[in-house]
Amino acid sequence: EKLGGKPGLSKPILEFEDCIRDCEIEDIRQTGCFYTWSNKRSGMELISKKMDRVMGNWLWFQQVSHLQVHFHVPGISDHSPAGIQLHSHPPGLGKSFKFLNI
């Protein structure tokens, strides 16, 4: 995904997308900045791209619940820093303790 600059995808990008599809991985849920890179210019010269990604496969998504990445405002860098939130539940510990006073 891209905003500004010349339209179209390069051959290496298309090959990378094929590789992602073949490996059966996909982006995890994302919050924050959609475009993760910028050339730091303004007006018509600004180019923004979703260049940085955090990906996983279906097994990882099953084992780690509530998985998401937050892309922060870039600050002085041209890339947005990513913070990954992992919340997993160990097998067999899914039920909470209940006390009944009978």
The answer to whether 32 and 71 are in contact (CB under 8 A) is yes
What's the pTM value of the predicted model, to 2 decimals?
Answer: 0.72
Cα-Cα-Cα-Cα torsion 56, 60, 61, 64, nearest 10 degrees, comes to -120
| The two three-digit tokens of residue 64, written as one number | 């780690």
Comparing 50-54, 80-84, 87-91, 96-100, which segment has the lowest mean pLDDT? Answer: 87-91
DSSP state letter for 75? T
* Alpha helix (H) residue ranges in the chain: 11-23, 58-63
pLDDT attached to residue 26: 93
Computed over its alpha carbons, how large is the radius of gyration of the chain?
19
- Residue 2 CB contacts under 8 Å (≥ 6 apart), including other chains: 47, 48, 49, 50
Pairing state of beta strands 55-57 and 25-27? antiparallel
pLDDT (tens digit per residue) in 25-70: 999 999 999 999 999 999 999 999 999 999 999 888 888 878 899 9
